[in-house]
Amino acid sequence: MKRHFTAAMLALTATVAGAEPSLERGEYLVRGPAGCGNCHSPLGPDGPIAGQELAGRVVEDNPAFLAVGYNLTPAARIAGWSDAELARAIREGVRPDGTLIGPPMPIGLYRGLSDDDVMSMVMFLRTLPAVETTLPVSQYRIPLPPSYGPPLTTVSAPPQGVSVEYGAYLAGPVAHCTECHTTFGPTGPMMDTHLGAGGMEFHGPWGVSVASNITSHADGLAGYSDAEIAAMITQGKRPDGSMMAPPMPYGYLARMTPDDLAAVILYLRSLPALPDPAG
């Protein structure tokens, strides 16, 4: 396995004052708010299969694409990628051979991951036990863009703390809440006009679930207390005790620190009030 956690990787963080990747931070992000296992860990009838963390699975098979969350353990092809190459694949959606990673990987938001955080995630992925798996190759029956944007150089995050700015970073680039909870249009989530308004449908063994409105509108979170929102985010439990449906990664979000959870709620409270999209 290539281990280039030296000049190539640290170059991405050198210009960020005080930034330094850490294994602890990487584990927290991957197993916590980023919820990587929600797409990359094999599932059985009772949830993630023991001993196969991040070993890959088919995420979605629909008329538009067959999407596979690939094996992220050292048994897979990423073992031959440098740390900088793996970071680029996560954050820019570009593999070392130049091919693009397609949806539902939220590259548009992952481009906002800070240098420190993406490299912390890479550091943690390198420590996973190797798990051999056999997976199909993703197939896209829709055109992918030529790129997700120009090559990134340095990306920094807002200071950690209970603030709207840091909550936006967690709910966007880290946990991609805004990817799933924004109304889906002809070319993808309509971030400019329907941010957080909900309505995206998710099909799975549970049936069909619809992403809720998470704006400050009465159709969204206006009538809920912070404690009620926290319970819905981390437990999938509504105030009336009923349970919300997948694919929201409650088990991962439950690992958020109290401050991070508070920052996310503060950010959600700041979203402009938008009604549910017209049916």
pLDDT, tens digit (0-9, with 9 covering 90-100), for 23-62: 999 999 999 999 999 999 998 888 889 999 999 999 988 8
Per-residue pLDDT of 88-130, as tens digits, reads: 999 999 999 999 999 999 999 999 999 999 999 999 999 999 9
pLDDT attached to residue 279: 64
> What is 180-208 written as a DSSP string?
HSSPEETTEE-HHHHTT----EEEETTEE
Give the mean model confidence (pLDDT) for residues 214-223: 96
Lowest mean pLDDT among 13-27, 99-113, 133-147, 195-209: 13-27
pLDDT at 186 over 90: no
What is the CATH architecture of 164-270?
Orthogonal Bundle (1.10)
| Domain edges within the chain | 7-140, 164-270
* Mean pLDDT along residues 248-264: 96
Cβ neighbourhood burial of 134 (10 Å; 0-12, 13-18, 19+): exposed
CB 92 within 8 A of CB 112: no
Structure confidence at residue 16 as a pLDDT band (50, 70, 90): very low
Cα(29)–Cα(235) distance, rounded to whole angstroms?
18
